[in-house]
Copies of this chain bind each other. A is one copy, B any other.
């Protein structure tokens, strides 16, 4: 990455994702892939980000797991190529799963909580997280359907 604007962008993306638990190298790789018009090899990533090939490989597989990147076998070879996933809703889908799981956990907690005050709070919070999840789900569906007749 010889371009300063590119390096700045990559660091900005990392600065956003690292506080959310994404390891620094994976976060930087995501920024890098966002700027790459074509799928890139681990060798190329290793050179451009100045990291070891094994670090690049671990980071790339983590992004795959988060559904932020996807791997493509290079035609006629076993070399892996990585690119940003078209499914960039992946992170929000994960958040939605969290909201859903929190709503369920809190509702279950409300059923077993001994104290009335804790029970009422857990019920309200379960409803809140469910409301948020439904709103986010509806938004994502509208987004997917945009531009269609």
Contacts and interface: CB of A to CB of B under 8 A. Distances in A.
B118 A16 contact: no
A35 B132 contact: no
A125 B13 CA distance: 13
A12 interface: yes
Contacts of A19: 21
Contacts of A78: none
A89 B6 contact: no
Contacts of A140: 132
A92 B135 CA distance: 13
B128 A35 contact: no
Contacts of A117: 37-38
B132 A92 contact: yes
